[in-house]
Structure 1
Amino acid sequence: MRAAAPAVAPSAGHGRDLWGAVTIVPGREGVLEVAGYEGPAHGAGSRLTLTAPGAARVTDLPLDAVGYRGAVSADRASATYTYAGTPQETHPWQDRSFPFVLAVPANAVPGTRLPGCALSLTDAHGTALDDGTCTVTVGLPEPELTAPLSGVAGGSRPPTAGTAYPGAQVSVRDQDENEVCSTTARTDGSWSCLPGVDLPAGPVRLQATATFNGVSATSEQIDITVV
């Protein structure tokens, strides 16, 4: 499962710096979209290089465009797009985004930013044209809400339980954003809590939100009937 790249503002610097940002859950892949170059056009042989941050690795270069050739280094610590040149393309690095698929290790800590992400653009002779910054933030795995069972009728204070990242703060809310109960996930990832007040009779929709180290994730919603 790949995580989508959120929009961020270009970095300060030359005024035309390359930039990109993505949040990726540990053990998964995400697409880092690189854009932002506004400098002079450069022809065949110019090259965009991404240096992957930390223990992240480049796994794919999914750009679907004529005239660009992608290559991943043997250790997957970096990757490049090289412009081969086409008569129709006069601004090969402008007004276009360049996707790099990154894999984050399973032991990465949610909420941290992996260090060392870097971007550079060079001409056919290797002369630097532009550089930039990229941000890879480790996301939080989605919590699971396993009790009460979806579609099952029950009492007004149903035991609520599930799994989440160890140490994450978990809050269960209803369809009106009222907090039903909250707790902290245990070291094995399990969590449970009991509603402090009676849920209203009838259909109720519940969802769990986990928060850890500044990042959050939500579970799938479940529908129950309170009788």
Structure 2
Amino acid sequence: MAMGHTIKAFDDELGQLRALVSEMGGMAEAAISDAIQALVRRDLDGAARVVDQDRRIDAIEAEIEREVVRMIALRAPMADDLREILAAMKISGVIERIGDYAKNIAKRVPLLQDARGIEPLSILPAMARLVSEMVHNVLDAFVARDADAAVTVCESDRAVDDFYNSLFRTLLTYMLENPHTITSATHLLFIAKNLERIGDHATNIAEMVFFAATGRQMTERSKGDDTLVPPME
């Protein structure tokens, strides 16, 4: 009877851990959308809220780390359970970084108040929707321990790279033809790169989900580094 009680308690703790990761991921996903909406609408207050709410994402990451340490110390999980617990901790760290990228986008909103008329600005929301969908889908895969869904998320990353490369070419053209747009176009390029990096982080989470679910490493994805400029952190 005691063993059954212990197993149920551990299962409940795993469920709570998954819920924390999902909550944190949902906040990061919302931050991406809110930051881009603030950019498009020139909403300084909305951008400031994204920056401020990043503290909550950081707080949940710390809570997850504490819970993982407690579970390992008290429950001594093995095999599948240990992989899932460690994956949750690693994933929370990646989500925190995704939140940072969304915050970085929001911080550029005040610097782009005069960016009207630059066509690539209209493309960024579509790119943001794609990476937000990747984040959403990979977190669903984590909760469901769905290795196939994790693979599908990785396959979506190519489209994100295509978005980025297209934006880079367009922004470069704007800068060459209209030197007065250089400052605004550079900020937009940083934003596009932040979105591209979010896509990369979603694929990193997908690889963790795949390993947690199967005990095997995902076959190395053949992305290569075909982006046109080096990463902008």
Judge same fold: TM > 0.5, yes or no.
Answer: no
The TM-score normalised by the length of structure 2 is: 0.24
Whose relative contact order is higher, 1 or 2, with alpha carbons under 8 Å and at least 6 apart?
2
